Amino acid sequence: MKANNGSGNNEARDSWETPIKLFEELDKQYNFKFDCCATKYNKKCFYFASDFLKTEKGIWIINNEPGWMNPPFSKAYEMFEQFFKVISKGVAIYRCDNMETKIWQDIILIHADWVFIPKGRICYEGMKGKGSRFPSALIGVNVEAPKGLNGIVLHIRKKR
């Protein structure tokens, strides 16, 4: 059996983009106003951050409107720390093949309201092949779980 060597969060996958069809389906429900991790070339929303780690809570678009995040894999830990610190409500996408890792155990599962695991693998734009080699999950905070997508919602009971 081949062990996971943690090589999935590498810079070669940082430019993988959210499939436009998936984003549009989610945007119908959430009406995202802010793309946390984007450039002017791949942004999915009018408002975006090209250096999300420098974004501060208090910017009106972040506090009052849903944000979207597809973090660069090589900076995922820091990006999720920032997401839950800055975004009042929103959805993120991330790999879910290793939910026992620090990012899942110490950040995502502690702060998220739900995790949605879609049926089938997502084929990110910019990647080669027919789909990623790992499953992905949508992660939500202060918004309802996705409707109309095929998959399973895991509701998280947060420690009070």
- Tens digits of residue pLDDT in 102-118: 999 999 999 999 999 99
Mean pLDDT of the chain: 84
CB 35 within 8 A of CB 45: yes
Q: Average pLDDT in the 135-141 region?
A: 94
The model's pTM: 0.85
Instruction: Let me know if residue 50 belongs to a domain.
Output: yes
Instruction: Let me know if residue 102 belongs to a domain.
Output: yes
Instruction: Let me know if residue 2 belongs to a domain.
Output: no
Q: What type of residue is 60?
A: W
CA distance 74 to 85: 19
Q: How many domains does the chain divide into?
A: 1
CATH number at residue 112: 3.40.50
pLDDT at 41 over 50: yes
Instruction: Let me know if residue 4 belongs to a domain.
Output: no
Q: Among 54, 61, 158, which residue's Cα sits nearest to residue 111?
A: 158
Percentage, residues of the chain above pLDDT 90: 56
Higher-confidence residue of 134 and 3: namely 134
Instruction: Let me know if residue 58 belongs to a domain.
Output: yes
Residue by residue, DSSP assigns the chain as: -PPP-STTS-GGGTTPBPPHHHHHHHHHHH---EESS--TTT-SSSEE-SSGGG--TT-HHHHHS-EEE---GGGHHHHHHHHHHH-SSEEEEEE-S-TTSHIIIIIIHHH-SEEEEESS----BT-SSSS-SS-EEEEEESSPPPSS-SEEEEE-----
CA distance 23 to 21: 6
- Domain, as residue range, for 24: 11-155
Look-up of token digits 């791949």: 42
